[in-house]
Structure 1
């Protein structure tokens, strides 16, 4: 048999270690851990999104919200004026039936025409205190006059009920609260301050 001749590669020392690239999984990447972290982050983002949405829709108030009472005693410079040219919407925000008819009778006795006074005997929420709502600042004196007629109840500016006016005439909204119900004062749980009609 022929012997191969020696060359320079025969003199390279042989090493005992590994030669070449060896790839293996990274020990810290566990599929279950990644899934749990992803679920936790998604949950935090969803909760934050719901909270921001509620704040933007004024469903919750971050700083307690300011009450804007506007009765004749609490509004300096306001002049209560009974104006029977206004349409009046009456909303019963109590569980007791028949209160709309009582308030309507008071207004008719005070000089309102029957086609300018109408109401709804039922609301989706209870309301703690009877309040007269008006939309524009120009309606304030008429709202205060109506509030005095009803027993010096609150008057408050709000456009919440503006969409319920289907005419071009100005309209006031009376929301009957638990303070006018025969059942007495509101319960310890404070009802909402703006009931839906």
Structure 2
């Protein structure tokens, strides 16, 4: 199985195994590591020469239960493969009396990577409009607080190298290079 298929599955499996709750992240992250250990135990039962075993180990090591969709997992995978470190998922940010959860964040640099999936916007025209307005307000709040917000859509996944390049540029700008 390719990383593009295996990584989102592993993220979803971890989320399910640890019953990830963004509002109780400390406990969820402890359970995530327990589940990760169980995944490694299951992998250890496979013969050492099993094809894909090393790839499976890497996926288990890097999967994140905070990825709430396959799209978020694919963005995280691309950023990890690019060697970007210090990322968190579902980063809790308190601004202007609101609590926001950033899909993928580089919190030390205040870089937010937001995956815009289709499901979160709603089913009706009114729900979609309300969701878009709320997303725009949220982005303005983050930007006023010094965050660089990078939005990623499903169509961007076909050009994932461009997304990675955009994140790398943001890192360099934030670091002052």
TM-score normalised by L of structure 2: 0.26
Higher relative contact order (CA 8 A, sep 6+): 1
Q: Which has the higher helix share?
A: 2
Structure ID, larger Rg: 1
TM-score normalised by L of structure 1: 0.24
